Every structure is written in structure tokens, then in C-alpha cells.
Amino acid sequence: MLEEIVLRNLREAISYVTQYEDDFIQRAAERSLLAQKKDVLAQSEKRIAELDVIFKRIYEYSFYELRGGNHKDYQDRDYSGKNTDRPKFQELLADIRQGLIRRVVVYELDRISRSILDFATMMELFQQYNVEFVSSTEKFDTSTPMGRAVLNICIVFAQLEREAIQKRVTDAYYSRCQRGFHMSGAAPYGFKLEPTTIRGIRTKMMIPDPDTANIARLMFEMYAEPSTSFGDIARYFAENNILIYGKELKRGFISQRLRNPIYAQADCFKRGACPGRGRN
């Protein structure tokens, strides 16, 4: 009788501890998710505050230094100035062609364009419709040859800075690729991603997926036969009820798999290839 009481109390204690651990893990996960949401929200609020400061500066400049007048805001939030494919910028150009704009005021030069060609085209349009161009933080007089020359020099350096940043990012991605880091995206069919640590940095690596690796290998073995086509492989899979991601195999899927260098133990980056970490 005493043993039964002890065992029952022990089971209740174990159940309580297990439930406590489950609740603790769930609360920890919720706190982690909440922290991530707060971080994203804080970054968004910071970005919004920065934009509000920019537009306030432009408004104050227009009101005090340019003596006010009617104005219209063209805000392309979350768009880069690297090209002109921006909704509000295109709306601005359309309004200029309709003769509705007399002066364009920006916060900084690189906020409107960082491309020499795009900027030159834009300035030709401004001159055609007698539109003044003003930067609230930089002093440019586009009515004189010297002012236009200084403006062109500034845009050259803005483009140079953008291209230098692009080069650094490209080099960083290539370096990570060479060291075996998984860059982005889902693993190809036949592989799965496994967390790992390379040189103290947490990342993921591709390893064969035991559930699909043999099916991916079968595609290559069948296509290696001289008389086998994509259609033959697709029909064989359909006849034997072999599904890919729960669907029938399509020729396009086969073509993409056979052209993917990862299956040949090479991690493709841009147009080159570097030593692979995948195995199949």
C-alpha cells in the first residue's frame, strides 16, 4: 500500500515537472518571438522617424527659403534611388510633362537618382519644361554651366559609392560560398538543410535527404541512357506512382534538376562554381 502511494506521488511529480518544462519552453518561444517582433517594429519606427525628419526638412526649406507656395509630396518609401522604376517618381515626371511643376526640391541629391544616365535624362527634362532643381542640404545652381558641372560631379560620386557597395556585398557572398555556407533559399530536391557551425558562424549545409535522394538519383541514371528522354522519365514516374512534392513529375522539373550544378557536387554562385559541400 505504501509503495502504491509513493509510486502515485512520483508519477504526479514527474507529470508536474514535465508540464512545467513544456510550459517553460512554450513561454520562452513566445518571448523570443515577441522580442523579434519588437526588434522589427523598432527598426520600422526608426525608419519612419528618419523619413518624417527628411520630409519635414524639405517642407521647412520650401516654406522659408523658397517662400512657400503650393506643393505636392512624392514619397517613394522603401525604394532605392539606383533607378527610376519608382511609382511616385514616374508620377512626378508625368506632372512635369503636363506643366504642373515649377520646382523640384529633394533632401539630398542621391535621394532622387544615383545613376549618371538617369540623372542626365532627368535634367534634360527639367530644362525642357523650365523646372528648377533644388537640394535642401546641398547648394546647386542649375541655371549656370558651373553649377550643372558640380551637380554632375556629385552624381558621379553617388553612383561610384553605390557600385562600391554592390561590389563589397558580391565579394562577401562569394567568400561565404567558397567556405561552404548555404546562401539562401530551399534545398534542391533530394537534399535537406542541416544546421551546422563553420568557423564559429551558425549556418546550414545541404545533406542528402533519405526520403528523396534515391528518387533524384534515379532521374540522372535514367537520363544517362542514350535513348531516354524527359518524357520517358515522366511516364515511368507516373506509371509507378512516384510523386514529387505530392505531384506528378513534369518535364520542366526534370530539366531544371539535370541542369542544377549542385547535383554534380558544385555550389553554383553567379556564373562561376566553387568547391561544393553538398553530397549525393
Q: 94-111: per-residue pLDDT in tens? A: 999 999 888 888 877 777
- Angstrom distance (rounded) from CA 1 to CA 18: 26
Task: Judge whether residue 43 has pLDDT over 70.
Answer: no
Q: Express each pLDDT in 65-86 by its tens digit.
A: 556 567 788 877 777 767 778 8
Q: What is the CATH number of domain 72-178?
A: 3.40.50.1390
Q: What is the pTM of this model?
A: 0.40
> Among 28-42, 51-65, 155-169, where is mean pLDDT lowest?
28-42
pLDDT top residue among 272 and 123: 123
**Of the candidates 109, 123, 205, 209, the residue with the CA atom closest to the CA atom of residue 162:** 109
In percent, the amount of the chain with pLDDT more than 90 equals 2
CATH topology match: 72-178 vs 191-275: no
* Mean of pLDDT over the chain: 71
The top-level CATH class assigned to 191-275 is alpha beta
DSSP 186: P
Q: What is the Cα–Cα distance from 245 to 27, expressed in whole angstroms?
A: 34
| Least confident stretch, 28-32, 92-96, 223-227, 229-233 | 28-32
Please give the Cα distance from 112 to 136 (Å, whole number).
12
Give me the pLDDT at residue 123, please.
Answer: 81
Over residues 120-149, the mean pLDDT reads 77
Mean of the pLDDT values across residues 194-217? 82
Residue extents of the structural domains in the chain: 1-66, 72-178, 191-275
Mean pLDDT, residues 237-266 taken together: 82
For residue 277, which amino acid is it? R
Find out whether 107 and 135 touch, Cβ atoms under 8 Å.
Answer: yes
| Local confidence band at 22 (pLDDT 50, 70, 90 cut-offs) | very low
Does pLDDT of 162 surpass 70?
A: yes
Counting residues of the chain whose pLDDT is more than 70, the rounded percentage is 62
User: Regarding predicted confidence, which is higher, 250 or 267?
Assistant: 250
User: What integer is the mean pLDDT of 244-254?
Assistant: 84
Q: Which pLDDT does position 54 carry in this prediction? A: 62
H/E run at residue 55: helix 2-60
